Structure 1
Amino acid sequence: MTVQIMTSKEVTKKVVNKESLFILDVRNPSDFQDWKIEGTNFQYLNIPYFDLLDGVDEILPKLPEDKEILVVCAKEGSSIFVAEMLSEAGVTVSYLQGGMKAWSEHLEPVKVGDLRDGGEIYQFVRIGKGCLSYLVVSNGDAAIIDATRMTDIYVDFAKSIDAKITHVFDTHLHADHISGGRKIAEITVATYWLPPKDATEVTFEYSALEGGQDVKVGKTTINIHALYSPGHTIGSTSFVIDEKYLLSGDILFIDSIGRPDLAGLAQDWVSDLRETLYNRYRELSNDLIVLPAHFMIIEELNEDGSVSEKLGTLFSNNHGLNIQDEAEFRRMVTENLPPQPNAYQEIRETNMGKVSPDEEQQREMEIGPNRCAVR
């Protein structure tokens, strides 16, 4: 019996379509508990690879006969070994190509909608990390917002739709993943925009992203007026695109709000966070479609695999937007924080240009889930 290969793209399709899948994860229990492939109808069995070196007979009764079985490890080698043993025992089984490393780096482009004058906006869903980035295209020009370090995917996608990347934005200085924004700007000779209050320590040239600006991409206007929105970082900046979409960065998510502590300044920034969410955003149209820079749980995905919701709906349903007592809000934001992202200080320094880790080091720095939200 031949072992099958399943790609991250194929697993993503199962996540979006809410299909069933049985995952045998052969990583260490601590790694599995910290971060795994999430799916609404997925079942799991975590048995470390080292416990299976002498054979798989003991786990055979725990495997279903009526579900697809996927073996997962860190980089694929251990899962191939286990899958081959299972196959020899008569089990129909697949392994995840590239392991959790590939799962962490997979980007799935989803068209979010059309803009006036023929433009389009796409969301790139980094399903394994919960990162969301965007491409706005209009009249042959394109802008990239909050790109990950997998820069080729954006550049190649823009080429595939005959668009020239002219602007690259980061809504803030990221701490949970390495930005590909500066590299894309260098490759495409585009303008790279960064909020100056987040850029006091950067080592490179950039264009200052400040309130009151309108940036034209083809026939589409990206409005940055009156939407300086500190709280997650001191420079966090939101965009309104085409008077229809609100790119909220890491300030507001679908089911949660941004955390203000990743520069060690939670107590200082919590008031800024509340001002942004409870006053600045309240002045915006409830009909704006919120497009955040992250999602936290798989249930936030829409039926097409995108992540979005109307601002008015979030004002009604998002708990973080409905804490009227300021002291209670302060307690929730400063005392109810999950563990900080893996290597977040090193990631911030990389995004400042202070250090230049190689690709494998960058990969290791990003391992694990994103933790940009207040739970």
Structure 2
Amino acid sequence: MSLKTMTTGQLAKKIVQNEETLILDVRNTDEFEDWKIEGEHVDVINEPYFNLLDGVEEIEDKLNKDREIIVVCAKGGSSQMVGEELDEAGFTNVYSLEGGMKAWSEHLEPVKVADLNDGGSLYQFVRLGKGCLSYFIESDGEAAIVDANRMTDIYENFAKEKGVQIKHLVDTHLHADHISGGRKLAEDRNGTYYLPAKDAEEVTFSYEPLEEGKDITVGNTTVKVQPIYSPGHTKGSTSLIIENQYLLTGDILFVESIGRPDLAGKAEDWVGDLRETLYEKYKELSDDLIVLPAHYSFAKELGKGGQVSARLGDLYQKNKGLQVDDEQEFRNMVTENLPPQPNAYQKIRETNMGKVDPNEEERKEMEVGPNRCAVHG
């Protein structure tokens, strides 16, 4: 009997529904420590597969034979081998994750955020393996997608299910950690692609400038996306407000952290903009706005059903990055606590500018690894 497999979608459902989940990750320890599957109720054991080539005796005492075990590797091959060994050793409920971490990196889980006025809806697409968040706004047969990921077919299939036409594709900034799907979706669906002009100085394609105060109307006129210029992560970063209720902050503000200003090598230059946006511009907004960021860093940020969100007023009370009154102390916190750069970030930026055009396999490899867009106070 062949080993059972589990799809990334099935695993994602378990994580967002807070089910107890046991992962046996058989990648090398350095790869595991850099990037792994996480969740509020996820237990992970790492045992490199080369330690298990002659059998699983070494880990038998770490595992419950009756508990469901999901074996994970880089691409799905080694996990199959280890899973079969566990099966032969009497473990009755073992699965191999189809496609391994490479497939996990690409899975998008749609989570409904809210019903909007006049029948519209707002969805958050959670990329659990990468920490990326994108948004799907639909109203009266039309849709706008904000900060779309590279896997455009997922959004197209979702739009088809909802019976809506994708009209507007918005990037809140020029991304450096993942390849945007916005321009491709605009081309494929005959939609309009929006990008902040200050982030588009080197792009090789035409676009519609995302400008402060210039609404994007989706379907019914009451569903408006209002851009707010909010530099800091990049010099063009622009936030969006939907129906005066939801604040899409891009990579400027997260639930547990704030954006980093250095992915174009401009940390010292842009940290002042970041502080002004967070400590002045956002302060002028309503405390009751629900913050919907473009990334998250920690499993604990996943709320009910997998949603990542927080009330703006609450973040000013809880997010350490918003509580540094001294300007020099803030500058030091941001510039001295920068995590490692995202994998292939410079080539990702150039891809999003249209300067280079990697093939699909290269694009997948460029995105492997965790997101690193945040500064943690």
TM-score range, shorter chain: over 0.9
Q: Which residue of structure 1 lines up, in the alignment, with residue 38 of structure 2?
A: 38
Shift of 1:9: 1.6
C-alpha distance in structure 2 between counterparts of 1:193 and 1:5, whole Å: 40
State the one-letter code of the partner of 2:8: S
Q: Which residue of structure 1 lines up, in the alignment, with residue 224 of structure 2?
A: 221
Alignment of 1:234-273 (within 5 A): 234-273=235-274
C-alpha distance in structure 2 between counterparts of 1:17 and 1:119, whole Å: 25
C-alpha distance in structure 2 between counterparts of 1:154 and 1:228, whole Å: 26
Q: Which residue of structure 2 lines up, in the alignment, with residue 95 of structure 1?
A: 96
CA contact (8 A) 1:202 1:354 kept: yes
- Cα offsets for 1:327-350 (capped at 9, x unmatched): 111001000111110000010000
State the one-letter code of the partner of 2:43: Q
C-alpha distance in structure 1 between counterparts of 2:355 and 2:119, whole Å: 40
State the one-letter code of the partner of 2:64: P
Shift of 1:40: 2.0
- Cα offsets for 1:35-65 (capped at 9, x unmatched): 0000222222212122222222222122223
Uncovered stretches (5+) of structure 1, i.e. residues with no partner: none
State the one-letter code of the partner of 1:63: L
C-alpha distance in structure 1 between counterparts of 2:362 and 2:289, whole Å: 39
CA contact (8 A) 1:21 1:67 kept: no
C-alpha distance in structure 2 between counterparts of 1:75 and 1:100, whole Å: 6
CA contact (8 A) 1:69 1:94 kept: yes
Q: Which residue of structure 1 lines up, in the alignment, with residue 297 of structure 2?
A: 296
C-alpha distance in structure 1 between counterparts of 2:202 and 2:196, whole Å: 12
- Cα offsets for 1:120-139 (capped at 9, x unmatched): 11110001101000111111
C-alpha distance in structure 1 between counterparts of 2:71 and 2:369, whole Å: 18
- Do residues 351 (structure 1) and 342 (structure 2) align? no
Alignment of 1:129-278 (within 5 A): 129-219=130-220, 220-224=223-227, 227-278=228-279
Q: Which residue of structure 2 lines up, in the alignment, with residue 373 of structure 1?
A: 374
CA contact (8 A) 1:2 1:87 kept: no
C-alpha distance in structure 1 between counterparts of 2:84 and 2:65, whole Å: 17
Alignment of 1:271-350 (within 5 A): 271-350=272-351
State the one-letter code of the partner of 2:15: V
Shift of 1:211: 1.0
C-alpha distance in structure 2 between counterparts of 1:91 and 1:310, whole Å: 45
**SS of match in other structure, 1:304:** helix
C-alpha distance in structure 2 between counterparts of 1:70 and 1:244, whole Å: 39
Q: Which residue of structure 1 lines up, in the alignment, with residue 69 of structure 2?
A: 69
- Cα offsets for 1:74-129 (capped at 9, x unmatched): 01011001101111111121111111011100000111001112111111000110
State the one-letter code of the partner of 2:10: E
Uncovered stretches (5+) of structure 2, i.e. residues with no partner: none
Shift of 1:66: 4.8
- Cα offsets for 1:208-237 (capped at 9, x unmatched): 11112011111111112xx20000000000
CA contact (8 A) 1:20 1:67 kept: no
C-alpha distance in structure 1 between counterparts of 2:311 and 2:213, whole Å: 24
CA contact (8 A) 1:6 1:95 kept: yes
Q: Which residue of structure 2 lines up, in the alignment, with residue 85 of structure 1?
A: 85
C-alpha distance in structure 2 between counterparts of 1:13 and 1:153, whole Å: 16
- Do residues 54 (structure 1) and 57 (structure 2) align? no
C-alpha distance in structure 1 between counterparts of 2:58 and 2:293, whole Å: 45
Runs of 4+ in 1 over 6 A off after TM superposition: none
Q: TM-score, normalised by structure 2?
A: 0.97
CA contact (8 A) 1:20 1:68 kept: no
CA contact (8 A) 1:193 1:206 kept: yes
C-alpha distance in structure 1 between counterparts of 2:206 and 2:184, whole Å: 12
Shift of 1:368: 0.5
State the one-letter code of the partner of 1:333: V
Q: Which residue of structure 2 lines up, in the alignment, with residue 3 of structure 1?
A: 3
